[in-house]
Amino acid sequence: MKVVEIRGYQLGFAPAPAIGNARTMIRRRDFMLVELVADTGARGWGEVFSSPAAAAALVRTRLSGLVLGASPHHHGRLYEVMLGTLGYDRRGPGMMAISALDMALHDLAAQDRGTSVAEMLGGALRGVLPAYASAPFITEAADPYGHYQAEVDAILRRGFRAVKPRAGVSPRADGAMALAMRRQVGPDVAIMVDINQGYTARAAIESARRMEEADLLWIEEPVQAEDIPGYAAISAAVPTAIAGGEALGSLAAFRDVLAAGAMSVLQPDLTVCGGYTGFLRIAALAAAYDLPVMPHVFGTVVNMRAALQAAALVPARRGGASAYPWIEYDASVNPLLDVAGALPVRPDGTMEVPVAPGTGLDLQAERLAPWVTETWRCNA
């Protein structure tokens, strides 16, 4: 099997109404999907959800020539060759471009073997994963949290037994929101909050203390992604687990976080950190610190399915009354998550890990048409 064509799809949509977090209102969500076509006719998919246009340019001008004509079974060698093209850009669009290609190469290689990606990479450690709803989001209403109660009720009716609201309006408002949500859902539903890099360390500590009685499973990205001293100060000051890592693109970045004792839960995103290859290197590094690793996923069905395969590979770790890893499920209105058929959440709040070849994704490019803004191709 050889890669004979690379197809790129720039696509996106405008959430209506806009969804927000502590840092910004999201009025447009853009992505880049990469489709690798093999000489057998098989197709493998990869994704970039951050800096999609820049990553696409790097695939077309720098990386395509390394992948075209190569065997996807050589994904490890290709990863090193692609990594060798990076100069100063080891934590940005260059790594994101490599991530998408690595994801697609693994998908193709596993399909060629007739196995899932998890099976190809040594075998899944679990067949189901607890899922958490990534929602509700902050709105531009006078009360940014005013809709949370109704939306959480709807999330629970969908089967979720865990919910991750966005926080960061103010420490006082965060505390009131989290305590109200705990009263609403009772003691058996897990709550995590995501501050999306919205606070300074001092404000994050105050917010965490005000939310403490809500018994949160973790607080995610309380400060900017590479503010390692800030993360370490928060982790030392509050008992709640501090999570992060979705915006970190290199193994060295995670090394620095771990060495500083800055986080209790690592959340690398396969579309940012180097695909499956990068994710598993980070997981191996975290194992030396006995810390849980689970994929961040907030994009299209491509990354969602890849994240299920990756999460099935990491050892379980205890996080209070709950075991990691969890799988993140974008519970907002996202047509690109359901474009190839919805991935169901079971009545017990879990999701099955697909066992079909590759990631189990059967995506015809024609289905992307309503959201495509540009397409491009590179041929051998």
Per-residue model confidence (pLDDT) at position 321: 64
Whether domain 3-114+360-379 has CATH 3.40.50.620: the reply is: no
Taking the domain 119-352, which CATH number applies? 3.20.20.120
Q: What is the pLDDT at residue 275?
A: 98
Give ranges for CATH 3.30.390.10 in the chain: 3-114+360-379
In the chain, which residues fall in CATH 3.20.20.120?
119-352
**Torsion region of 86: left, alpha or beta (phi above 0 gives left; psi -120 to 50 gives alpha):** beta
- Average pLDDT value over all residues in the chain: 96
The pLDDT value given to residue 323 = 85
Contact 90, 253 (CB under 8 A): no
Instruction: Please tell me the predicted confidence (pLDDT) of residue 90.
Output: 76
Note whether 97 and 66 are within 8 A (CB): no
Task: Choose the weakest-confidence range: 27-31, 76-80, 90-94, 364-368.
Answer: 90-94
78: left (phi over 0), alpha (psi -120 to 50) or beta: alpha
**Residue 147's pLDDT band (boundaries 50, 70, 90)?**
very high
Confidence band, pLDDT 50/70/90 cuts, at residue 326: very high
pTM: 0.97
Dump pLDDT digits (tens) for 137-146. Answer: 999 999 999 9
304, pLDDT greater than 70:
yes
Q: What percent of the chain clears pLDDT 90, i.e. is strictly above it?
A: 96
112 — pLDDT class (breaks 50, 70, 90): very high
pLDDT of residue 216: 97
Of 298, 166, 145, 295, nearest to 222 by C-alpha is 166
| Angular region, 300: left φ>0, alpha ψ -120 to 50, beta rest | beta
**Which of the pair, 320 or 361, is modelled with greater confidence?**
361
- Give the Cα separation of 257 and 270 in Å (integer): 18
pLDDT, residue 88, reads: 79
CA distance 336 to 224: 28
Q: Do 190 and 162 meet the contact criterion of CB atoms below 8 Å apart?
A: yes
